[in-house]
Structure 1
C-alpha cells in the first residue's frame, strides 16, 4: 500500500465513508504488510524474546526531542523468573545507547549487540521470584515511511506529528521489551514529555498532565490497568482536537475519545465518528462487554493509510465505517485475546475482517453481508497457503489480505454455517469469557472452545480449512425415484494438495412441482457420496446446491440416472457449445420428453415429444441443462449456448 500524502488523507476522510466494505481490512492488511517488510529482517533476530522471564509491568517514561528526533527513555520493568537465573535480556535496537541499568539502586553490568540488551543480575533469582530493572537509554529510532516510530507533518500548516506502530516486530525500535506477543503484561504506564504544542495519547486513561514551565514542555501520564501485549503499547502526539462522547450501555459507561487533526474535522467526519457508539453497542451484544470499558475507546490520527488496533485507542490514517468496525473488533480479538504466535494471526485478523461483514448484515441486511463475503470468496480462491501461517518470517504471508483477512473471514462464515447461528455466536462469547481472556491463544484454543460450546467435533473442519489449502470442486446430479423421493450424488475433484477432498455438511434446496421448496442437509465425507431423500410432498423440479452460499467452492450440476438403469446407453448432444441447432443422439436411451433448464434450475422450455434436433437460437448466452425424461429415468446433460 502506498504512503498517503496529507492531501490524499484529507480526501479519504472527507469523501470515502461509503467505500466498499472490505476497505477496512484492506487498509489494515496493506499497512501491516508494509510494516512487516521493514521490521522482519532485523527484529526477527530477537523474537520471541527472553523466555526465562514473565513480564508483569512496564513503566515507560519517554522524553522526546522533535528537532533531533531523539528519545531519552527510562523503562522500568517488573518480571518473575521462569527458572533459576542470573542474567536476562531485553530486545532493543543496537542503534540506541544504553547509559545504565539499575536494580535496587545498584548499577548492573550489561552488554549490547545483535539488537539485544544483555544484563547480568547482581543477585541470582529463584524460580517465580519477582524482580525489576530500570533501563536508561537514548537514541534516534530507525525511520521509514511505515516505521515503528515516526516523525511527520500534516495539514497546510505542516503541523508536526509523532506516532508508533509496533506490530509485529517493531517495539524494540523505540523501547526495551520482551518481543513476544504471548507474554501479556499485567499493566503498563506511559509518560510522554514533549513541547506543550503536543497533545500526547497512549493506552488506558489519562491520569495526569504536568506543565513543565522551566522548558515549556508537558508530560502526559497514561495508565493502563489491563493485560496488554508489548506491540499494542503505543503513543500518538500532535496538535489534536479532542472529540469526546460517552456510551451508556448495559450498565457500562464507556468514554469515547477521538484525537483528530484539526484541518480534517468536517461535519462528514463527525458523522462517520458518530458510528463508534452503535458499533460499540453492536459488538458488546455480539461478543460480550467491551473489554476496557473502565478506561476508554477511541482513535488517534497518524500519517499512514489504514489503522492499527492499539489497545483502547486505535491509530488511524483515515476513517470509514468499515475501518472503524475492523479496528474496534480487534479490541476483543487481538487485544483482549491475542494471538500466541504470529502463525496464529487468524485469531486476530480473521475475526476483525469478518466483524465488518457482521456489521453490514446488522445495519444493511443479508444482501450487503453476502456482497461483502463474495469479495472475500473471490480472493480466497486465489490463495495457495494454509490460513495457519507456515512461515511467519515471510511478509507476503502473515498480513496477506487474500489469505489472513479474506480466507480467514470466509472460514468463520463457513464455521457459522456448520454450527448454526446460536452455537456460533455462543462460541464467540464463550471464547471471550474463557481462560484465555486477557491472555494469548492459538487457533486450536479457539477450536476447543467452539467444540465445548457446540458439542461438535470440529477437527476435520479446522484440519481442512486452517491447516489445509485449496477448496472443493463439487459435481452433483440427481433424479426422482418416485413422486416423493430423490436420488442424489455429490462428488468432488480429487486435489493434489492436502486435503485431497473436503468433508462438509451441504445444504440443498429441493424445488418441488407443487411450487414449494424444502431444504435438506447432507454430510459429504467421501470423494463420491450417494444419498436418497424420501418423504417429499411432491416430485422434485430442480435442486439448488448450497443455496445460502455457505461453502467456498466451485460447483457443477451433472446428470445421473437411477440405479436400476445404470446399464442404459449414454446420450450425446452436439455441437456443444452451440449457437443454433442442438442435435441429440439418444443411442437407445428410453425417453418420453425433453426440458431445458437454466443454471438456477428454472424451466425455460419443454418439449412434449422426443426430437432429434432442438432450436436454441432464442436462448440467451450461458449455461443450460437438457433434461431427458421417461417414466422411470431422468438424465441431465449440460450444454453451453454461445
Structure 2
C-alpha cells in the first residue's frame, strides 16, 4: 500500500504534509500506557480454508446483502467454537452446513464487532467444517476510525450512489487493509490467515466488475442484472480481498501468457496504455530479479474515485487512487513521478506482501519496506542510477525529517494502534535499510537471499527473522549485528566528520563522531581518497562514538569522500572546505556526490568555487539536479545574476525537461523584466501544463490584464500547474466572472488538488467582488478545515486563512461575509 501519509508527503503542499508528521508525533505520545502493551500475534485457533461469497448491492441504502459459505478447520488444538470479525452487520442466520442442509448455530455478537459462534461439536485439525452466514453489510453506519495512514476504515465504499454529484461516476469498491474486509464479510481478519475464495457479484448489467483471480462466469438475470463470479484458486490473506463495480473501460494487455488489464473511467480510457503500459516490462523485471515468476493468474489495475489512501495491492487486482488518471499532456510533466513509482510499488507487493505476507502488523516491514525499495529498483533498471539515487534520497530525507521517527523500531511490537505502523519508519527507513543490505552483501547474494525467502515461505507468512536467515543462507555471513541495530533498534547515526592532513607523515586523518542519542551504530562503509589524479577506495568500519581513521597518501588529497557509495542512512555534517566539494562535483560519480556539492555551493554562490559549481549544475546531465539548482538560484546577487542569466534564459527557451524549463521560466518571471516577454509568450504555446503555468505566472507579474485574457482562454483545457497559475491570475484580479471556474475546480478536486489550490482559493475568496461567491468559498474552506483538522497543523492554518478573509471582506465593507468567515473560524476551532 502507498498510504495516505506517503501520498501527502509527495503529492500535497507542505501544509498537510507537515501537519501529518505532527499528527504522528501526537498519536504516538497520546497513550503512553498503551505503548507499553506487547502486541502479540493473536493465537490461531481456527484457520480459514476457503471463502465463498454471494453479494448484491442496495445503492439507495448503501447496503450490501451477502451470503457466505466459509470453510474452516482447527489450526492445531480441538475446538468447539469459532470467533469471526464482523463489523457493524445485521446477522440473519448462522448455520453449519451438514449434508447439504443448514443447521442453525448459537452465537453472540459482541459490540457488533465480533461473532462468537458455538459449533455443533468439537472439531479436530484433521476435520474441516463449513459455516453459512446470511448477513447485511452497512458500511456507512459503521462507527470506525481511520488514521493518518488510511483515512477511513469502513471496508466497503459507495461512491456517488445516487448519481447526484456532477462529473463523478457511480462506483463501488473495497479497502481491506488493515482489517476492513470484515466490514463486508465475516472472517478471521488477520494477515496470517490465508484462504482461497470465490466471489459472485450481482450488479446492474451496464457495470463492469473486478475481483481477485479469474472471472469464471457471467450470468444474465431476468431483472436486468448480471452475476459475475470471480475465483481465486491460490490462498491469500483476507485483507487482500477486493471488489470493484462501475462504468470502467478495460484495456487488455498481457505478460507472457497472462492477462494484464487496466480498468479506467471512460474519460481516461484512451490514456490507459500511456499510464500503465510499462506494467508487463515491470513484471518481467521483478520476476527475473527475484527468481520467482509472477505467481498469480492475472494482474489488473483499476483507478477509482475518492480512495481513502494512495493505492492498495489486492492480490491480482491493485486499486489506485485517482491521481493515476492523467492525460497525455499531464504525462509530459510526469517522468518518474509519484504515479509511476506507485505502479512499481504496488506490483512488487504481489511478491512481498501477497505471495509472502507479514506474519503480523508488527512485521509490516517485510511487506512495505520491500515495496518502497522496489521503487528504487525499477528506477535504477529503467531510468538509470541518478534517478534511483534521487528516489532514494527523497525517501531518506522524508524519514530524517520526521521528528517522531527516530524513536521507533522497524519491527515494532509496541504501538498504540496497528495503523501507526504505516509510517516513515516502515516505508522510507525500511526501504533505505534494504538498500544498505544490498550494498553490503552485493547484489547477487542479496537477490539470492530474496529468492530463498520467497520460495521458503510461498503462500505463507514471513517476518524479519526469516528474511535474515534467508540472506545468511545465501551469503554465508552472519547478519544478527545488522538486524539487531536496524530492524530491532531505533534511530540512525548522526555523523560529524572532520579531516586533518599531515604533510610530514603523508597521513590523512578522518575524525568521525556519532552525535545521536541512543545506540551507537556499527557501520561498514567506503572512504574514497582522490589524490594525484587517482581514486583509492578504503573499506572501513565505524564502530564507536568517536572513531579516528588514518590513511597513508602520497600527496595531499584533493578530496576525501566519506561514504563513497552514498548509501548509509544517516544525518551528516561533513566539514570539508568548499574547494573539496567543488572537486567532488566534477570528479565523484554519483548523484549524491553532486547533490552534496550543490548544497555546499548554494550558501556560497558569491565565492568562485561556489559559483563554478552552481553554473555547472545548471547544465547537469540529470534534470533533477538542474531543477534543484534553478529553484535555489539567488538572482538578487549581481554576480550570480550576470553569470547565470544566459544559462537560465537558454533553459527557459528549450530545456528538454518540461519541469526544468518551467522552473527556469519561474526564475526569470521573478525578475519582472518585460525584456523576456517573448520567451513567456512562446512558452504559452507549449503542450506542457507546467511550462504554460510558469509562463502565465511570469506574464501576470508584468501585465496582469494580458495574463487575465490568456487565463480566460485556457478555461476549457487546463490541468495541474496551468490551473494553479490561472487561479493565481484570477485571484490577483478578484473577478467575479472567473469565480465559477475557480469554485468548480476546487470543489471537484481531490484532497491533493484542494490543498494545492488552497492559498490562491483563499486569496480569491477574500477579494472576489460578489458576497455570494465569497461565502461559497468560506464554506468550502471551513469544510476542508473540519475534515482534516485531525492532522494537527491544518486547523490553525485554516483558521488563520479564514481570519484573513474576514479582514479582507471587512475592508470591502462586506460585513455579512466577514461574519460568515468569523463564524467559520470558530467552527473549525471548536470541531472535534
Write the distance in 2 (CA, Å) between the matches of 1:150 and 1:391.
31
Counterpart among 477, 488, 511 of residue 467 in structure 1:
488
| CA-CA distance at 1:544 after TM superposition | 0.9
CA distance in 2, matches of 1:259, 1:140: 26
- Give, in whole Å, the separation in 2 of the partners of 1:380 and 1:116: 37
Q: Does 1:351 align with 2:383?
A: no
Q: Counterparts in 2 of 1:161-176, with a 5 A limit? A: 161-176=171-186
Structure 1 partner of 2:772: none
- Structure 2 CA distance, aligned partners of 1:618 and 1:518? 32
More strand by share: 1
Q: Counterpart of 2:411? A: 388
Which residue is equivalent to 1:627?
none
Inter-partner Cα distance in structure 2 for 1:371 and 1:405: 16
1:162-182 Cα offsets, whole Å, 9 max, x none, are 110010011111100002111
1:555 aligned partner: 572
- Aligned counterpart for 1:260 among listed residues 261, 264, 276: 264
Partner residue, 1:545 = 562
Q: Which residue of 2 aligns with 1:57?
A: 50
The alignment's TM-score, normalised by the length of structure 1, stands at 0.76
Q: Match of 1:566?
A: none
Give the superposition deviation at 1:373: 1.0
Residue 433 of structure 1 aligns to a residue whose secondary structure is helix
Q: Give SS of 2:263's match.
A: strand
* Superposed CA RMSD: 3.6
Partner of 1:200: 209
Match of 2:388 among 369, 379, 393: 369
- 3-state SS, counterpart of residue 133 of structure 1: strand
User: Is residue 152 from structure 1 mapped to residue 159 from structure 2 by the alignment?
Assistant: yes
**Residue 306 of structure 1, CA deviation:** 2.2
- Shift, 1:309, TM fit: 0.5
Task: Tell which deviates more after alignment, 387-396 or 300-309.
Answer: 387-396
- 2:585 and 2:141 map into 1 onto residues whose CA distance is 65
Q: Aligned ranges for residues 288-307 of structure 1 at < 5 Å?
A: 288-293=291-296, 295-303=297-305, 304=307, 306-307=310-311
Q: Is the contact made by 1:204 and 1:222 (CA closer than 8 Å) also made in structure 2?
A: yes
Question: Could you report, residue by residue, the CA deviation over 1:587-612 in whole angstroms, capped at 9, with x for unpaired residues?
Answer: xxxxxxxx9844466799xxxxxxxx
Q: Distance in 2 between matches of 1:348 and 1:472?
A: 25
Is the aligned partner of 1:119 residue 2:117?
yes
What residue is the counterpart of 1:573 in the other structure? none
1:90 aligns with 2:84: yes
Is contact 2:55-2:202 (8 Å) kept?
yes
Answering whether residue 189 of structure 2 is matched by residue 179 of structure 1, we say yes
Is the Cα–Cα contact under 8 Å of residues 88 and 139 in structure 2 kept in the other structure? Answer: no
1:339-381 deviation per Cα after TM superposition (whole angstroms, max 9, x unaligned): 1111111111111111111111111111111111111111121
Q: Which moved more, 1:123-132 or 1:235-244?
A: 123-132
CA distance in 2, matches of 1:349, 1:414: 16
Q: What's 1:609 paired with?
A: none
Structure 2 gaps of 5+ residues are: 32-36, 143-150, 325-338, 587-603, 612-832
- Aligned residue for 2:217, secondary structure, equals strand
Name the CA distance, whole Å, in 2 between partners of 1:174 and 1:199. 20
The aligned counterpart of 1:426 is 448
Give the Å deviation of 1:291.
3.6
Point out where structure 1 has 5 or more consecutive residues left out of the alignment.
5-11, 13-18, 560-594, 605-615, 624-642
Which protein has greater RCO, CA pairs closer than 8 Å, 6+ apart?
A: 1
Larger Rg: 1
Q: Tell me if structure 2 keeps the 8 A contact 1:483–1:538.
A: no
- Pairing of 1:413-492 with structure 2 (within 5 A): 413-434=435-456, 436-477=457-498, 486=507, 488-492=509-513
- The answer on whether the counterparts of 2:578 and 2:609 sit within 8 Å (CA) in structure 1 is no
Question: 1:277-296 maps to which residues of 2 (within 5 A)?
Answer: 277-293=280-296, 295-296=297-298
Structure 2 partner of 1:412: 434
Per the TM alignment, residue 197 of structure 1 is displaced from its structure 2 partner at its CA by 2.2
**Quick check: 2:47–2:73 contact (8 Å CA) kept in 1?**
yes
Deviations 1:467-501 (A, max 9, x none): 2222212244555678997454443235332x1x1
What is the distance in 2 between the residues matched to 1:183 and 1:403? 25
Change (3 A) 1:48 1:495: closer
Q: Give the 3 Å change call, closer, same or farther, for CA 416–396 of structure 1 in structure 2.
A: same
Distance 1:504 1:347, change over 3 A: same
The 2-side partners of 1:22 and 1:370 are apart by: 22
Structure 2 Cα separation of the partners of residues 603 and 367 of structure 1: 14
Contact kept, 8 Å, 2:362 with 2:421, in 1: the verdict is yes
Q: Name the counterpart of 2:320.
A: 316
